[in-house]
Structure 1
Amino acid sequence: MADSCFVDIREPDGSTRRIASSSRGGAILHVSSESVAEPLTATVMRIGQPRLEPSVLAVPLVTQAGITGVLTWLASRDRPFFGVQELELAQHVARRCALAIDNSRLYREARTAVSIRDEFLSVAAHELKTPMTSLRGYAQLLAREFDKGQVANPERARRAATTIQVQSDKLARLVAQLLDVSRIQSGKLAIERKPSDLSGLVREVVDAARTQLREHTIVARLPSELWVPIDPLRIEQVVTNLIDNAIKYSPDGGQIDVMLACDADDQTVKLAVRDRGVGVPVEHRANIFDRFYQAHAGGALTSMAGMGLGLYISRQIIELHGGTIRAEFPDDGGTCIVITLPR
């Protein structure tokens, strides 16, 4: 069909890169072929339509993602000029190549999806098993106490009942996160806004967290009240997650700061939760709001890494409110999560 052929692809930044070329040994190309080929290839890459010159033939590689590249053929001096028949054959070859590219991409995406699924199932099974093991153990302990006809050790029974309550709450949160992810993926996660005292809501979450702290101190800087149109249940979920993370990832204790205030323009409010814990490794910072992403997986904090859903769900909730959420990393260590919400 031709004496020389090359394949150019479009890079993500819009530039063109030649990934393959081949020529028939001893073939002497038309001088016009070499001068016409490059601009012709660029034109086909831009407009996505084939171009036919007497000694040059260029057809686009059109995949599901759009114009992916160009196949270009050159004729030698001793070969007849290209015609309609060669054009049809070239288009057929290009369609086959484009189909192969699409299949390769789909296969790669499927493998990635399977890998994410398997990793998620492994993490979810571990996270769900942990509270279930505690629930079972302490339930058995209580059962033995009651089998004696009376509670022989009231203090131990009280601790067992408290642990059951805490682990039940953790299990309920894990299940709720899984349901939220399902709603997000199906576009059914909804919020119900109503005027709410955000300051009072944050204060309640902080007070609840303080009752379970031993080595941490929460310093809250909150106005007496701050009314904002929000979904209070969903925002409470976000604030609880941020404070839980701050506690979890500062295992040596220390101060946790919670700050809420209006911006200078009085059009937005800013909520910040800052810890002085282990922080986030630099290479993981860009991905901490991604679904199933665990910045500390594989390290010393693997056992407390969770399912990688808390920040992902929090981002979705905040964005549904028309707000933003971002992470800052102070020079003296730790992490600060900053939320802005419209008033």
Structure 2
Amino acid sequence: MLALCVILLGAASSLFVFPPESNSVLWLPGGVSLAVLVRARRHRWPAYLVATFLAHVLLETLRGTPPGVNLVWALGNTASALVGAHLIRRWQGESTLSFNRARDVAVLVLAGGLLSPLPSATLGAAAMSWSAGATSFGREWLYWYLADVLGALLVTPLLLTWSAEEGRFSPPHRPVELAVTCGLLAVFAHFIFGPGMPGLLRLSLPYACFPFLLWAALRLGPRGAATASLVVGTLAMWHTTAGTGPFASPTEPIHVRMFSVQSFLVVVELSALTLAALVCERQHAEHTQRLLARVGTVLAESLDYRVTLPRIARLLVPCVASGFALWLEGEDKQWELAAQSGLSREQEERLAGQLRQQSVPFRSQRDTPSHVSILVRLLHRERVLGGLVLVVPGRRPPDAREVAFVEDLAHRCALALENARLFQEANEAVHVRDEFLAVAAHELRTPLTSLKLHLQNLLKLLARLTQATEPLARLHLVAKQVTRLSELVERLLDVGRINTGRLRLEREAVDLSELLLRKTEGLAEELSRARCELSVHLHSRITGWWDRNRLEQALSILLANAMKFGTGRPIELEVTGTGERARITVTDHGIGMSPEALERIFGRFERAVSSREYGGLGLGLFIAREIAEAHGGCLQVTSTPGDGASFTLELPASHLPEMLHETPLPAPH
């Protein structure tokens, strides 16, 4: 097939031989041979080189070229293809030119365009000078060299881009858009390079093709740029040989006109390919950033690596890799597979062993002729967390942008694993703390209960003695402190119950007005001691299916806070009902709090002010909100610094069992 293409394109190139010159101004077979060698495996090169040599020998024999010159020309053309392919492979690694990077265009220009024609031009010009005698070697070499350069730059990119696999995510309408673009470009180029254009206007018309070329490069990539350049080149060469167009000056010989159009076409080709490569690099960078952002999103959704890492594997395979695996190093230094996709059992074991023995953070290796494995150790602050392997299609080592992508991926995974470890340690520490608080509270509850019983007995005994007034008063103070200590212990127990999900509600039919009146009567002494005047507003009789004791506890916490932070100022207690909701609002006129503290105060051991000034453990509001939420309600606060705070406890008021509809609720007091 290669030999047939060389013969056919050689015959087509013969149409561009213009006497007195003996060589063609456009040599197309050189670009075909170069493209085939660049795309082929190295072990097939000898066969292709032999086919190229024999095809050139046969072609020149058919054209009547002398045998000696024939063999030299065939040898030079074959050597040019070999030199160009070797240099491209040497500078590109084992990959082929895809023209999705500006580097690919530079390699083509230097290796395929400037260096590869040297053997054919030198041997061809020498053979012509030797056979013709009077022919100038320098002039012949220059014409031969420029013809091979143009052929390589026009044909090689076209064949390489069309033989490459189209991107997996290319739009389905891409071929249609390419056909329409090239069709319009052909019509426009025929108009530009055809006959009938004014002389002065024709000189600037070739640049009118650039909008189409730019569109092809920006929208259709390297394939579109190479195809559009071929369309322009074909029409420009055809009309120039026919003596029409902006390059067909009647005062210049034909070979000079052809070299003018050749220069124009080289600039067109390189400009379009370079622009397409830059666009591909930009698109690749954007795709990489979007993919890393999605990886970060997945890792942030959960701290459980058993959930996130398999999702990362499915995200990468087959989008950017054909295989992915990640291992974690345990405390016993054993590696455990956490996620994998696209790898066989044998590959997993082999790559895991290589990663464990790897002493550098990053390494790449070629596993098969068409795949490269990138092995990265997961490190966090010089501590090994595991290893990651990404198997990517290709036959060359990863370039700088691919290395940066894999390193960023490994860094994100390592950071997520470290965050998960820290979160687990924090949870374990919180669990240990809660267990300690529960145990300590239980241990304190027993002696406190005994102490309360003894105090009650002493109070009863001293109450009978008429002369024990002062000891009785002191014992009352001690009893109050013991009661306060008991409440603190109960709050610690409640925190433990809440953290372990053991806060149970003993629901019953509760009249909210009756409960509030009874509770406020029990706090009359404390309100008096705090010099707080309490005003109660009960707008309606509200009954619900609640836990009486827990509601009293929440109300006690809210009133205690109002008395603590609003000493000497009035307190308002208001009860309202709207539809199926009941609201209890406690408003004080104390010190208030800043906006940033409004949500923080409902956390465990959180406070809006210093504990040195007001005391307490910072658990009251946390327990009150948990009680509200356990009932299906909520606890909210509004406050202004220096102007008090208003806490609203909202509860569902109509969730009563059907059986209660037959039982009359207690009347309010």
Q: TM-score, normalised by structure 2?
A: 0.36
Q: Does 1:106 align with 2:424?
A: no
Q: Does 1:83 align with 2:371?
A: yes
| Contact kept in structure 1, 2:540 and 2:576, CA below 8 Å | no
Point out the structure with the larger strand share.
Answer: 1
How far apart, in 1, do the equivalents of 2:523 and 2:490 lie?
19
Question: Once the 2 structures are TM-superposed, how far is the Cα of residue 61 of structure 1 from its aligned partner?
Answer: 9.8
1:291 maps to a residue whose letter is R
How far apart, in 2, do the equivalents of 1:151 and 1:185 lie?
48
Distance 1:110 1:208, change over 3 A: same
| Contact kept in structure 2, 1:330 and 1:336, CA below 8 Å | no
- DSSP 3-state at the match of 2:482: helix
How far apart, in 2, do the equivalents of 1:293 and 1:58 lie?
49
Q: Does 1:218 align with 2:534?
A: yes
The answer to which of 97-106 and 160-169 deviates more is 97-106
| Contact kept in structure 1, 2:607 and 2:618, CA below 8 Å | yes
Q: Does 1:231 align with 2:547?
A: yes
Deviations 1:85-133 (A, max 9, x none): 2387347975686245422453377469869988xx99x99xx9xxx9x
1:272 maps to which of 576, 581, 585: 585
- DSSP 3-state at the match of 1:280: coil
Question: Once the 2 structures are TM-superposed, how far is the Cα of residue 270 of structure 1 from its aligned partner?
Answer: 0.9
| Contact kept in structure 2, 1:151 and 1:157, CA below 8 Å | no
Distance 1:191 1:62, change over 3 A: farther
Counterparts of residues 178-327 of structure 1 (less than 5 Å): 178-212=492-526, 213-214=528-529, 215-223=531-539, 225-251=541-567, 253-263=568-578, 266-297=579-610, 300-301=613-614, 304=615, 306-327=616-637
Q: Does 1:50 align with 2:316?
A: yes
2:479 maps to a residue whose letter is Q
Number of residue equivalences? 280
How far apart, in 1, do the equivalents of 2:642 and 2:292 lie?
54
Unaligned runs of 5+ in 2: 1-100, 105-276, 295-310, 329-361, 376-387, 392-405, 654-669
Q: CA RMSD in A?
A: 4.4
Deviations 1:219-262 (A, max 9, x none): 111257432211101101100111111111123x1101111121
1:38 aligned partner: 286
2:343 aligned partner: none
1:50 maps to a residue whose letter is L
How far apart, in 2, do the equivalents of 1:163 and 1:29 lie?
88
Deviations 1:24-81 (A, max 9, x none): xxx9855444432322441464384226899x99989999xxxxxxxxx9x9xxxxx9
Distance 1:100 1:36, change over 3 A: closer
1:68 aligned partner: none
Distance 1:82 1:291, change over 3 A: farther
Question: Once the 2 structures are TM-superposed, how far is the Cα of residue 310 of structure 1 from its aligned partner?
Answer: 0.8
Larger radius of gyration: 2
1:313 maps to a residue whose letter is I
1:164 aligned partner: 478
| Contact kept in structure 2, 1:61 and 1:95, CA below 8 Å | no
2:521 maps to a residue whose letter is D
How far apart, in 1, do the equivalents of 2:319 and 2:536 lie?
74
Distance 1:225 1:33, change over 3 A: closer
What percentage of aligned pairs have identical amino acids?
24
How far apart, in 2, do the equivalents of 1:197 and 1:275 lie?
24
- DSSP 3-state at the match of 1:296: coil
How far apart, in 2, do the equivalents of 1:292 and 1:154 lie?
41
2:595 maps to a residue whose letter is V
- DSSP 3-state at the match of 1:89: strand
Unaligned runs of 5+ in 1: 1-26, 64-72, 76-80
1:156 maps to a residue whose letter is E
Question: Once the 2 structures are TM-superposed, how far is the Cα of residue 330 of structure 1 from its aligned partner?
Answer: 5.2
- DSSP 3-state at the match of 2:629: helix
Distance 1:117 1:248, change over 3 A: farther
| Contact kept in structure 2, 1:196 and 1:228, CA below 8 Å | yes
Question: Once the 2 structures are TM-superposed, how far is the Cα of residue 190 of structure 1 from its aligned partner?
Answer: 1.1
Q: Does 1:335 align with 2:645?
A: yes
1:272 maps to a residue whose letter is T
2:287 maps to a residue whose letter is P
Counterparts of residues 108-123 of structure 1 (less than 5 Å): 110=425
Distance 1:294 1:192, change over 3 A: same
Counterparts of residues 60-71 of structure 1 (less than 5 Å): none
How far apart, in 1, do the equivalents of 2:557 and 2:319 lie?
64
1:249 maps to a residue whose letter is F
How far apart, in 1, do the equivalents of 2:591 and 2:327 lie?
48
2:560 maps to a residue whose letter is D
- DSSP 3-state at the match of 2:613: coil
| Contact kept in structure 2, 1:294 and 1:308, CA below 8 Å | yes
1:83 maps to a residue whose letter is H
Point out the structure with the larger helix share.
Answer: 2
The answer to which of 214-223 and 39-48 deviates more is 39-48
How far apart, in 1, do the equivalents of 2:374 and 2:327 lie?
18
| Contact kept in structure 2, 1:288 and 1:294, CA below 8 Å | yes
